[in-house]
Amino acid sequence: DQQVKQNSPSLSVQEGRISILNCDYTNSMFDYFLWYKKYPAEGPTFLISISSIKDKNEDGRFTVFLNKSAKHLSLHIVPSQPGDSAVYFCAASGTSGTYKYIFGTGTRLKVLA
Amino acid sequence: DAGVIQSPRHEVTEMGQEVTLRCKPISGHNSLFWYRQTMMRGLELLIYFNNNVPIDDSGMPEDRFSAKMPNASFSTLKIQPSEPRDSAVYFCASRRTSIDGDEQFFGPGTRLTVL
C-alpha cells in the first residue's frame, strides 16, 4: 500500500516553461515533506523540503506547495532548464527530524530544448 | 568530503549465491539507511540504524536479507541466498542528527542483477 503516490511516471516540458510535479499522500500523520532529484547512475540528491506548518517554500527556481486538506503537494520549476531533466522523488515523514522517510515511485521529467 | 561510498557499483550473480553490499557513511553522520529502488515500488526503506543500532527493519523483505553496522563508518547488506526478484538498485544513505536540516545524503547505489 503506497502511502506516498506520484501518479505521473513521466512529464515532458519545453525549456523555459513551468514544470509541475505532483505528489499525494494518504497518512495524515505526515508533517514533513521533501523532494529529491535523481540523475542516471547517481544517488538521489536533496532538492527542497516543507514542513506542514507552511503551505509554500521557495528556493530559487524551485517552489513546493503543500495542501494539507487535500493531502497533496507539488513541485514547481520555473523556468525549466534541460539540466532539470531527471527523476524526481517525493518523500514524507511523520515528524520533522524523524529518521524514516516514505518515498513515492518517482516522476521522470524531460525538459526539451 | 567524499560523500557516501558504496561498493560494488555493479554486481552480477547467479541465483542462490550470497551477495554482500557495502556502505561507508559520511563521517560524523549517526544515522544510516538502506533503500531498494524498483520501477514498481520506487524507493523502499529496508532498514535504518541510529548510532550503529538497528532501529527499524520492518522493510526487510525476507529472512534472506540481513544488515549490520559494526561501527560508525561501515555497514553491510547481505542477501543469502539471492533470487532473481532481488535484482534492483540498492542505495545507502546517511544523516546527521541536527537542527540544521533533515536531509539524507545518498550514495551512488549498487546495481544488483541476479540471474
Q: CB neighbours of B53 closer than 8 A, spacing ≥ 6?
A: B69
CB of B8 closer than 8 Å to CB of B20: no
* Residue B39 or B13, more confident: B13
CA–CA distance, A26 with A30 (Å, rounded to integer): 9
- Summary mean pLDDT of chain B: 92
- For the ranges A42-46, A78-82, A95-99, B3-7, which has the lowest average pLDDT? A95-99
pLDDT of the residue at B42: 86
Q: Is B56 on the interface with A (CB under 8 A)?
A: yes
| Cα A64 to Cα A22: distance, rounded to the nearest angstrom | 10
Q: How far is B8 from chain A (nearest CA, A)?
A: 13
Closest chain B CA to residue A43 = B108
In this predicted structure, the answer to whether residue A49 has a pLDDT above a threshold of 60 is: yes
B61 to chain A, closest Cα gap in Å: 14
Cβ-based contacts of B40 with chain A (< 8 Å): 105
Residues of A in contact with B96 (CB under 8 A): none
Mean pLDDT on A92-106? 78
Please check whether residue B7 touches A, CB under 8 A.
no
pLDDT at residue A97 above 80?
no
